[in-house]
Structure 1
Amino acid sequence: MRRRRPRGVLDGGVPAHTVRTPAAPRRPHRIDVLIAGGGLLCGLLLWTLHLYGGPPLFGLPPSLTLVALAAMSGAELMRRTAPMAALAVAGLALTLDICSGTLVATVLMFTDVVYAAVLYGGPAAARRIPLYSVLLTFLATITLAALWHDPQVVIVSIVIALGTIAPAWTGVIIRDHRDAAQAARLRAEQTALLAEMDRVQAVARERARMARELHDVVANHLSAIAIHSTAAQTIDDPAATRDALGVIRENSVQGLAEMRRLIGLLRDAKAADGGDGPAATPTLEGLEALITQARTNGARSGLSFVLDTPRATPRLVAPVELAAYRIVQESLTNALKHAEPGEVLVRLAQDGDGPLTVTVRSPYADRPGPRAPGSGAGLVGMRERIALLGGEFEAGPRSGPAGKVWLVRAALPASKEEQRR
């Protein structure tokens, strides 16, 4: 069965189960070895100096305190690798130590094992050990008070609390701080990942936008150059060749100017922000010049171009006007490359505050190949432009009263509500 991916990993949230206790190492940590060795040496020194708690209970020999000391040192070695096993061994060693003489070193190492069990144990251990330590201290206090009617019971209870409650709750505090630091580090890594993803997506969007602009700016002029250079090579007429070379020169100059304007925009951030610089965003006011240029380029192909626009076209936001202009430009370029001789109709219509509808209709040609080579990126670019604005786009052959035509239709949202977005 496939494991489900934890929720909240990339949405800025850090679920509790993603902050996990680090995996226990297989070998004792060097700090644990130092603690175990230091505790063992201190205990042996105290034993040598006869500095232990009191007489043994139940007639046990005092030498058993050394056994308890050695067991407690072994528990210290397991404080990270097996914290719960270490706590069990430490509990038995402490019981033996209290019954046989009580070395301070053994008691101090027991408090460290309790602390380590909370810090390095599982989540269940971290929740239960502090509660059990409080319960154990309470029961021990009640038992001592019932069996030993002496004010020193209070002092003994405080000592028991310092050996159980204090290390357990200290481990809880340290564990909470560690988990909070891990959660903060995870959030920082997720933030960095999201920022990198946003950067990559922004770069990809900008590359796609530049590719569309470069295609739309260059393809129109280069298509005209390719068509007329082919005509100049195939027609043995000095006058026709001279006219074709004139069109080629005009398109070369205009294409070079468009390229310089676009490069200037890319290099000059001030111009891109609306400062002084080249105006690189065409508007619908430039459609007349676009149609005039298309008439010049398509004259020898038997194409005529007609522009049908409303008498008063309201000013639209820049992205909408740019998209409409580029759609007409690319459609005219495709007509020059593919259309049969006939009329190419460019129509713009808008009903009140409704969408701006751009329609380009050209005679459909079922020819084996275009007049000039193409990459097919024009239709893709037009679809991308319309999709970015949330409009509708269709392109393809249609049958009508005048025969079969190639129809490009785009509906661009141009209402006031869209303009405010």
Structure 2
Amino acid sequence: MATAPELPCHAAATFDDAQAIVRQSCAPLGVEWVPLAKAGRRTLAGDAIAQIDSPRRDSAAMDGFAVRSEDFAGDFTRFVLQGESVAGGSQPLPLRPGAAMRISTGAPIPLGADRVVMREHARLDGKEVILPRTSGKPHVRPRASDFAKGTALLPAGSRIGPRAMVVAAAADIAKLPVWRQPRLRVMVNGDELVVPGNAAPDVDTIPDSLSEALLLMARQWGAKPLGTLRSMDRVEDLRAAAMAAMDGTDLIVVAGGASHGHRDLARRALMPLGLRMAFAGVAMKPGKPLWYGRIGRTHVLGLPGNPTAALTTARLFLAPMICALSGAGFDQALQWSEHRLLHDAPGRSDRDQFLCAAGDNAGDGVAIIERQEASAQMLLARADLLVERRAHAVPAVAGSRVRCLRF
């Protein structure tokens, strides 16, 4: 298991410095062997090695008739039928000279045969078959022509998706070595917050709109969500929730309680538990209150309470953290691309900005959504991209290209 790097101590950070700190601090958590059925979306910690040849025997690539090329005489040759070889069947008897064996796709080729003539070209005549001489493909898959036993089929670092799953299953692999998934809990605090569906009767309450979204994002990027702990706006309640959250948890996400108001109590509650801060505040918009630290080996990421700010900073920091901890690499979640602006974009901000935007149907154009408010929620339904606008950049005109991240 990798040793967690020591954290630097920063009171505040630029966006680039904050990302560098988190990148350096998040090492893969360790290796475990899991059954193939549970390896989906996991990252390989070692090569996946073929346990068998594929195919296991010389086999037919087409339905037809297995023959010996040397038995052809002229353009058409009459062959005596000699049994049948079927997929999943045992190795048939060797093919006699002048004989042809009916064969199905995937069936073992009889010893002596070197060609399969497709059934569409055959003409049956009682116990014989008339076949044309063909000069094209022999339609034979030699043993181990796809892969051989002992071959490294999927290299370490591969993510197991449906296509990789096919390869591993075909290679008769029962278990795979994968990096452990980070176990994640969300903590939210607020006297006014209630579980969605319970706010309507009381005008003084609001639904907790972040917890389920953060758990879903965590699951999408490879974490193992352990649920949400909610607490009131009291230091002792927050501390008790944090103590409960730390049990078996690699990453705690504090949603809210990450600002500078007198009711934002998260850091004060966690300091007695051994919280060591790496940075408190980032020069970015939205998301200035973002903070990060560790309690022992448990990573703690404090997100702003405003929904758009929380989701934006989670996409930029939580997603790459999960990828790094699960062995996929920090940059796996930060695949930036360039898109053409459909409208003018603002500039000359004193902080790096990450603006919610919507891509066009063609896939290249991007429009920054109006009324960028950290507390807004409806715009998140439209936003599928984040547009990067660096501090002090001049305004960008329509048609120019900007860096974007899939939101």
Which bracket does the TM-score occupy, shorter chain normalised?
under 0.3
Q: Which has the higher helix share?
A: 1
Q: Which has the higher strand share?
A: 2
Larger radius of gyration: 1
TM-score, normalised via structure 2 length:
0.24
Q: Which has the higher contact order (CA 8 A, sep 6+)?
A: 2
